[in-house]
Amino acid sequence: MNEIVVLTPTYNREHTILKLYESLKRQTFKDVTWLIVDDGSSDNTEIKVKEIIQDKIIDIIYIKQENGGKARALNRGFNHIKHDCLFVIVDSDDHLLDDGLENIYLTRMKYKKNSEVGGYFFHYTEQKKGLITAKKQLDTEKVLSPFDYFEYYGKNDGCLCYEKKAVAKYHYPEFEGEKYVGPTVLQMRMAKEYKVLYSPIVVGVAEYQENGLTRSGRKLRMSNPNGMIVYNELKMDNENKILKKVKISLTLWPYYFKVGKRLNELKGDKVLKSLLYIPGFILYKRWDSKY
């Protein structure tokens, strides 16, 4: 039972998943299971994966499910593994540096006995632009709540890892007819019990695809309003600055209108939200017509 499980949700990535496979073969750390959750691919992903399983170089588990979105695929992976492990989430269009898993493993060993650490974050570079940073570059390891990290360092793309103990309690929310939930929602949901160890170490390379989730923007969010309500309400519950609370409340309204929520059904600061009802409706009509 390997302590490191590389969890890869994939959808129609036959042209990139082999590059990830090659990077896993080169890893200096070998005690790993690669768990691939195929989210209903219609290309040759299944054929490619079954071919590489025959190599018997890496311990590979392949699961195929009906297309339901990345969050469902991750939840499926979390549930599939029963023993204590660290899930290292690597998308099928990214790949790891040769010592990526070794650095992740060594970092985990330093913090494994810290009961408040439920996850880890490591940096990626982007193939053409270099290190991915949003606000400020992290220069040392820090155990933080995701809200504190986002405030000071921004929402950086990278390698998220979760302890089995955390994802045994906390999952991504799933909604009928929706296929997207923000990737930081899981960190935010578990924040009252578990923090994240944020590391400055670079462990992999991100290669953004033209049809990938990262580039889908507001249209994707408006198509998945319940997921966006969860995301924004979590932000709202952990925000103390009034101007930011106003902004979050305003941006919640288009999603509330999209799913038909009324004022008496809303959570949190109903007074503030009621004051923003009309501007929220105007924003909803704008986004709904545009996206």
Helices (H), 45-184: 45-53, 70-80, 100-111, 146-153, 164-167
240 C-beta neighbours (distance < 10 Å), count: 7
Q: What pLDDT score was predicted for residue 154?
A: 81
Please give the angle made by the CA atoms of 234, 189 and 238, to the nearest 5 degrees. 35
Residue 290, pLDDT > 90, answer: no
**Is residue 43 left, alpha or beta, with left meaning phi > 0 and alpha meaning psi from -120 to 50?**
beta
According to the model, what pLDDT value does residue 103 have?
Answer: 98
CB atoms within 10 A of CB 263: 10
Q: Which amino acid is at 214?
A: T
CA dihedral 217, 220, 224, 226 (to 10 degrees): 0
Tens of pLDDT, residues 176-212: 999 999 999 999 999 999 999 999 999 999 887 655 5
Q: Is the per-residue pLDDT at 132 higher than 70? A: no
Angle between helices 17-25 and 45-53 (to 10 degrees): 20
Give me the pLDDT at residue 246, please: 94
Structural class in CATH, domain 4-215:
alpha beta
CA distance 8 to 90: 5
pTM: 0.91
Helix (H) or strand (E) holding 12: none
Give tens-digit pLDDT for 148-183: 999 888 878 899 999 999 999 999 999 999 999 999
Measured CA to CA, the distance from residue 156 to residue 121 in angstroms comes to 9
Contact 272, 245 (CB under 8 A): yes
User: What integer is the mean pLDDT of 24-47?
Assistant: 96
- What six digits make up the tokens of 288? 């709904």
Largest CA distance in the chain: 62
pLDDT tens by residue, 93-112: 999 999 999 999 999 999 99
Which sign, positive or negative, has the C-alpha torsion 123, 124, 126, 130?
A: positive
Element (H, E) at 86: strand 86-89
Residue extents of the structural domains in the chain: 4-215, 217-290
**Those residues with Cβ within 8 angstroms of residue 176's Cβ, 6 or more apart along the chain or in another chain:** none
